[in-house]
Amino acid sequence: MTRIQEALCLATVLLAIAVLAVFEVIPEHVAQFAPLAVVPWIIRRNPACATARA
């Protein structure tokens, strides 16, 4: 999966959580922690410049 596809997937998930919170499918206090839930996913990624080093 390319970085653009991963970014679009991440944006889609966060927007879906926001929409579900607006329509009260999930509680608001759960939805406010959704960005924190993706932090481990972002941290595990290697920076692009690190792979270019020899």
Identify the CA nearest to 48 among candidates 11, 7, 8, 13: 7
3-state SS, one letter per residue, for 20-34 = HHHCCCCCHHHHCCH
Contact 34, 26 (CB under 8 A): no
Cα–Cα dist 27/5, whole Å: 28
Residue 4 — pLDDT band, cuts 50, 70, 90? confident
What is the reported pTM? 0.68
Q: How far is CA 7 from CA 18, 27, 54, in A?
A: 17, 25, 27
| pLDDT tens digits, 12-39 | 988 999 999 999 999 999 889 888 887 7
